[in-house]
């Protein structure tokens, strides 16, 4: 039966990496899954096939989550097809890593808008429907960089720290509406994004973790599942960080 029978989920940035792992696990547990992506059309098509192979419905939307209008269009389409949204996972994110002295205004704006503003947009729009149905789960994928900082990631760390503040605040705003809002803050995860880091960054970051191994996307998805299912009904405003000293 699974942990999420007859649930409807929306995951941002789920054509690959952590987002795809989340979408597939939610599908494994019985949820219909809609997701967004920016440009990886072939990967999105493959993700749709893999979700549907699990016996649930899948929807993919090519949309720029930085824009509120695009967000509203996606949510309306999901509501029309699925009837409701029980679970929202804000996972969309990019990196533009540079030391502050070399970071351009564009580097800053793109990361803040993609990683933080997109979460604001989807929380704002989806929460309206969750309030009406008197139930909902919102899970934000932050980062350990947003908790402890990381040289070369001023923009990324600021965005993920902002996501943590967003999580804690809207958790309080919606606590009496039976909507739980939580976040996870992973450390090193074996994704294409981490592969972009140079050897020096990898070496420095690895010193922070007692377990000198990268997490797999599927392990992060398990944490999202916990916050998305009934096991966490009495938890809101929490941030589950990666392991570090």
What residues are annotated to the active site? 156
Sign of CA dihedral 158, 164, 165, 166: positive
Backbone angles phi, psi at 126, to 5 degrees: -70, -35
**Sheet with 58-62: strands ordered across:** 58-62, 32-37, 8-11, 87-90, 136-141, 179-185, 239-241
Alpha helices in 67-181 (DSSP H): 68-82, 105-111, 118-133, 145-148, 154-174
CA distance 240 to 183: 6
User: Cβ contacts of residue 176 below 8 Å, gap of 6+?
Assistant: none
Both structure tokens of 165: 């503040």
Distance between CA atoms of residues 188 and 100, nearest Å: 22
Q: Closest Cα partner for 214 from 234, 242, 233, 180?
A: 242
- DSSP-derived 3-state class of residue 159: helix
Cα distances (Å, whole numbers) of residue 130 to 58, 127, 136: 20, 5, 5
């Amino acid at each position: 039966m699974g942990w999420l029978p007859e649930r409807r989920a929306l995951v941002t940035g789920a054509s690959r990496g952590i987002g795809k792992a989340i979408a597939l696990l939610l599908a494994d547990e019985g949820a219909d899954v809609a997701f967004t992506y920016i440009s990886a059309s072939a990967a999105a098509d493959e993700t749709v096939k893999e979700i549907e192979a699990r016996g649930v419905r899948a929807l993919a939307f090519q949309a720029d989550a930085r824009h509120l209008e695009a967000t509203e269009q996606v949510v309306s389409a999901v509501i029309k097809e699925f009837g409701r949204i029980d679970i929202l996972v804000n996972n969309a994110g990019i990196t533009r890593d540079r030391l502050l002295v070399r970071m351009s205004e564009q580097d800053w704006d793109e990361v803040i808008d993609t990683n933080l503003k997109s979460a604001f947009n989807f929380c704002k729009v989806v929460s309206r429907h969750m309030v009406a149905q008197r139930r909902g789960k919102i899970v934000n994928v932050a980062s350990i960089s947003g908790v402890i900082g990381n040289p070369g990631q001023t923009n990324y760390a600021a965005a993920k720290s902002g996501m943590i503040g967003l999580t804690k605040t809207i958790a309080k705003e919606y606590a009496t509406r039976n909507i739980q809002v939580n976040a996870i803050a992973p450390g090193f995860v074996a994704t294409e994004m981490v592969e972009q880091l140079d050897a020096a960054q990898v070496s420095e970051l690895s010193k922070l973790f007692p377990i000198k191994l990268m997490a797999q996307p599927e392990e992060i998805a398990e944490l999202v599942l916990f916050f998305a299912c009934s096991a966490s009904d009495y938890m809101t405003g929490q941030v589950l960080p990666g392991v570090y000293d």
